[in-house]
Amino acid sequence: MTRGGIALSGALLLTCLFPFVAATFYTELATKVMILAIFALSLDLLVGYTGLVSFGHAAYFGVGAYALGLLAPKYEAANLWLTLPAAVLFAGLAALAVGALVVRVKGIYFIMVTLAFAQMFYFVFHDTKFGRGSDGISINVKPVAAIGSLVPFDLGNSTHVYFLILAALVGVFVFLRLLLRSPFGRALQGICSNEQRMRSLGFPVYRYKLASFAIAGALAGLAGYLSALQFGFVNPELLSWHQSGNVLLMLILGGLGTLYGAVVGAFAFVAMEEIFSSLTTHWQLLLGATIIALVLALPGGLASVKNRFRRTLVGETDVD
Amino acid sequence: MDLYSFLIQLLNGIQYGLLLFLVASGLTLIFGIMGIINLAHGSFYMVGAYMAFSLAALTGSLFVAVVLGSVLCVLLGIALEWALFSRLYQRDHLEQVLLTYGLILVFEELRSLIVGNDVHSVAVPDLFNWSIPLTDTLSYPVYRLFMSAVCIVLAVLLYLLIARTRLGMMIRAGASNREMVQALGINIKLVYRLVFALGVALAAFAGMIAAPVSSVYPGMGTGVLIICFVVVVIGGIGSIWGALFASLLIGLADTFGQVLLPEAAGVIVYVLMAVILLWRPEGLFRRV
């Protein structure tokens, strides 16, 4: 077993023990961290491995969350096994539709266009009757995980929810690991480091990028669904651009293109949020100042990914 | 829709478009010349509007407030360029996005700390506080005409500055080749600082003159920023003409959309952007 493998198993073991020793508040907080970790992982596929900096990733998180809000019957429990795949599917389809337009453009355009389309989704849920306006939708009855008459776990129990979401996180992590080792994942990383060369090698770059965008959207939808499941309500703020900015921040905090960095970043972000908001109601001031200080103080901190980005974002080609 | 209501909406659309142009031109200049994506650009619009509110309350006159506010915003622009943005030129877009995102949070919280979270209205100056009657029931406020006129004057001045002056020549040269301009003995850092301050001042000025019409409220910068991104994407990055054309297009589409299709009003401009992206991913006007 490698050192990384030992560290990973150790972390997993500690995570499994955590809800048995921690108070409910901390179990729920850890659940929130894991949901955000799934969200950040989905963005890592896009930003860290495909070189597409999306500033509108919250849209698909929101679509996944709203899928549960809209599909759940008012006075009955929704079924997890039906609504969960539906949420992932809807988020994936939304990302596929937007992706078909946005992966045509590069660099700074890509950032602006993803943000603008995310704002469009925000307005769809905020302004129309379909999305029930700015108050959002509360999910009155917790969904159930029934298969026929068998109910393997209880979604009203925070420990059960914790393990469900832990399983989802591990699943997403393993899925991305395998995906990135597959020929498809290798091609994505090739596009990230040199798009021109991949194109000249005959790879259909557009389709690869689109697939990456759709998969990332679907996984973000999963995270959104789980968030709606945990908190029991959805509102347009889930799609707001703060959400998109924060998830990008998590990814940078933890490190791009490493997968586990997304998990670490989600943890660091929630820790920062908790500490700052316990100090003052104007905690976003501290968060903003921290972000600025971070970018200014660590010019080489993002060095490993810098060159890769410059190439894919500005469209510069490799010289060698 | 009869002729007069059509005329009113047309004027409103043009006025909104011209206002957007003031903000978007700064955004597109800062990107086109310095290669910086500035998410905090909408915050300057917000800062301008709040300055108009506070300074007008303090001095009792919107005109004094606008003049004073413009000077302050030029200084703010210079300070920000010196302290933060000048360190971003050689960085990648991801870092620029993060830093300017942090800056938005700081500006919003400072606004909340200093002025609070309430919506405030700003009085229209007496000189322009009347309307031109069109029919028995319809009239058009003169202040909006004044706004459009001011925007047009500024747009012309901006054009003259960039196309006809020595400074404009340096700006254009700096956009195409930074090293060469430096080698010719021009202080490019100073040029950048001026362009940045100009962009900040334009956005803030737009916020100031819009304050009596839109009132000032939290989050007003974000809305404008995102619409300006749509404008820049449609017009083509770095193109002033593109920004002008796209601003008017968006202004009219949004205004008429709210009248004709109120249900879909929030979405119309984005659909427009999607169509342009399908048709011409580079924007309507390639960079000049």
CATH number at residue A49: 1.10.3470
Q: Is the pLDDT of residue A86 over 80?
A: yes
Q: Is A310–B113 a contact, with Cβ atoms under 8 angstroms apart?
A: no
What lies within 8 Å, CB to CB, of B56 at 6+ separation is B62, B64, B65, B122, B123, B211
Q: Measured between CB atoms, which of A55, A109, A252 is closest to B237? A: A109
Domain presence at residue B274: no
Domain presence at residue B249: no
- For residue B230 the two structure tokens come to 């749509």
Q: Is the pLDDT of residue A318 over 50?
A: no
Q: Is the pLDDT of residue B106 over 70?
A: yes
Of residues B262 and A245, more confidently modeled: A245
The domain total for chain A is 1
Q: What is the pLDDT of residue A314?
A: 55
Q: Is the pLDDT of residue B265 over 80?
A: no
Average pLDDT over residues A199-203: 90
Domain presence at residue B200: yes
Domain presence at residue B273: no
Tell the residue number behind the tokens 């300057």, with chain if given.
B44
Closest of A32, A39, A35 to residue A59, by C-alpha: A39
Q: Where are the alpha helices (DSSP H) in chain B?
A: 3-34, 41-59, 62-83, 93-114, 142-164, 166-176, 178-183, 188-214, 220-235, 240-260, 265-279
Q: Is B101–A245 a contact, with Cβ atoms under 8 angstroms apart?
A: yes
Domain presence at residue A93: yes
Q: What is the pLDDT of residue B137?
A: 80
The domain total for chain B is 1
Q: Is the pLDDT of residue B247 over 90?
A: yes
Q: Is the pLDDT of residue A210 over 90?
A: yes
Enclosing domain of residue B211: 18-217
Q: Is the pLDDT of residue B262 over 90?
A: no
Dist CA B215 CA B211 (whole Å): 5
Q: What is the pLDDT of residue B122?
A: 86
Domain presence at residue B1: no
Burial pattern A135-144, b for ≥16 Cβ within 10 A else e, equals ebbebeebbb
Of residues B70 and A126, more confidently modeled: B70
Between A3-17, B5-19, B48-62, the lowest mean confidence (pLDDT) is in A3-17
What lies within 8 Å, CB to CB, of B230 at 6+ separation is A116, B246, B250, B269, B270, B272, B273
Dist CA B156 CA A288 (whole Å): 37
Domain presence at residue A15: no
Q: Is A105–B281 a contact, with Cβ atoms under 8 angstroms apart?
A: yes
**What's the whole-number average pLDDT of chain B?**
89
| Long-range pairs for B81-90: beta carbons < 8 A, 24 or more residues apart | B81/B192, B81/B193, B81/B196, B81/B197, B82/B193, B84/A292, B84/A296, B85/B34, B85/B36, B85/B38, B85/B196, B86/B189, B86/B192, B86/B193, B87/A296, B87/A299, B88/B36, B89/B34, B89/B35, B89/B36, B89/B192
- CB interface of A with B, residues 153-192, below 8 Å: none
Q: Is B102–A291 a contact, with Cβ atoms under 8 angstroms apart?
A: yes
Average pLDDT over residues B157-185: 89
Is residue A138 within 8 A of residue A232, CB to CB? The reply is yes
Residue A111 contacts B, CB cutoff 8 Å: yes
Dist CA A138 CA B5 (whole Å): 41
Best of A115, A249, A283, A295 to substitute, by most chain B Cβ atoms within 10 angstroms, is A295
- CB interface of A with B, residues 36-65, below 8 Å: 47, 53, 55
Residue A315 confidence class, pLDDT cut points 50, 70, 90:
low
Residue B98 contacts A, CB cutoff 8 Å: yes
Average pLDDT over residues B237-249: 89
Enclosing domain of residue A226: 22-314
Residue B79 contacts A, CB cutoff 8 Å: no
- For residue A52, the chain B residue with the least C-alpha distance is B94
Q: What is the pLDDT of residue B165?
A: 93
Residue B132: φ, ψ to 5°: -90, 120
DSSP state of A300: T
Between A41-50, A142-151, A243-252, the lowest mean confidence (pLDDT) is in A142-151
Residue A1 confidence class, pLDDT cut points 50, 70, 90:
low
- Residues B210-236 have pLDDT tens digits of 999 888 998 898 889 989 999 988 988
Average pLDDT over residues A48-72: 92
Dist CA A127 CA A234 (whole Å): 15
Q: In chain A, pLDDT over 90 holds for what percent of residues?
A: 44
- CB interface of A with B, residues 205-264, below 8 Å: 241, 245, 248-249, 252
Give A53's contacts in chain B (Cβ within 8 Å): 93-94, 97
Domain presence at residue B275: no
The kind and range of the H/E element at B92 are none
- For residue A97, the chain B residue with the least C-alpha distance is B274
Q: What is the pLDDT of residue B72?
A: 95
The predicted model scores a pTM of 0.87
Is residue B149 within 8 A of residue B20, CB to CB? The reply is no
Q: Find how far residue B155's CA is from the centre of its chain.
A: 11
Q: Is the pLDDT of residue B153 over 90?
A: yes
Q: Is the pLDDT of residue A244 over 50?
A: yes
Closest of B69, B37, B1 to residue B225, by C-alpha: B37
- For residue B4 the two structure tokens come to 């007069």
Q: Is B91–A299 a contact, with Cβ atoms under 8 angstroms apart?
A: yes
Dist CA B151 CA B118 (whole Å): 28
Give B239's contacts in chain A (Cβ within 8 Å): none
Q: Is B281–A306 a contact, with Cβ atoms under 8 angstroms apart?
A: no
Dist CA B287 CA A41 (whole Å): 36
Strand partners, A147: A150
The kind and range of the H/E element at A69 are helix A58-71
Q: Is B281–A108 a contact, with Cβ atoms under 8 angstroms apart?
A: no
Q: Measured between CB atoms, which of B87, B104, B281 is closest to A296? A: B87
Domain presence at residue A104: yes
- For residue B32, the chain A residue with the least C-alpha distance is A108
Q: What is the pLDDT of residue B49?
A: 94
Q: Is the pLDDT of residue A168 over 70?
A: yes
Dist CA B186 CA B200 (whole Å): 23
Q: Is the dihedral of CA A297, B103, B176, B194 positive or negative?
A: negative
The ipTM of this complex is: 0.85
Give B265's contacts in chain A (Cβ within 8 Å): 127
Q: What is the pLDDT of residue A55?
A: 92
Q: What is the pLDDT of residue A320?
A: 35
Q: Measured between CB atoms, which of B31, B84, B103 is closest to A108? A: B31
Average pLDDT over residues A101-122: 88
Give A127's contacts in chain B (Cβ within 8 Å): 263, 265-267
Q: In chain B, pLDDT over 70 holds for what percent of residues?
A: 99
Domain presence at residue B146: yes
Strand partners, B131: B141
Q: Is A126–B266 a contact, with Cβ atoms under 8 angstroms apart?
A: yes
- Residues A117-154 have pLDDT tens digits of 998 899 888 877 777 777 888 887 888 877 777 777 88
Domain presence at residue A2: no
Residue B286 contacts A, CB cutoff 8 Å: no
Classified as helix, coil or strand, A53 is coil
Residue B16 CB-density burial (10 A; 0-12 exposed, 13-18 middle, 19+ buried): buried
Q: Tell me the shortest Cα–Cα distance from B234 to chain A, in angstroms.
A: 10
Q: Is B94–A252 a contact, with Cβ atoms under 8 angstroms apart?
A: yes
Q: What is the pLDDT of residue B286?
A: 62
Q: Is B104–A124 a contact, with Cβ atoms under 8 angstroms apart?
A: no
Residue A108 contacts B, CB cutoff 8 Å: yes
Domain presence at residue A12: no
Q: Measured between CB atoms, which of A120, A292, A295 is closest to B267? A: A120
Average pLDDT over residues B136-155: 90
Q: What is the pLDDT of residue B287?
A: 52
- For residue A107, the chain B residue with the least C-alpha distance is B93
Q: Is A282–B109 a contact, with Cβ atoms under 8 angstroms apart?
A: yes
DSSP state of B197: H
Domain presence at residue A1: no
The string of DSSP codes covering B135-189 is SSS-EEEHHHHHHHHHHHHHHHHHHHHHHHSHHHHHHHHHHH-HHHHHHTT--HH
Residue A313 confidence class, pLDDT cut points 50, 70, 90:
low
Q: What is the pLDDT of residue B12?
A: 92
Residue A305 confidence class, pLDDT cut points 50, 70, 90:
very low
Domain presence at residue B29: yes
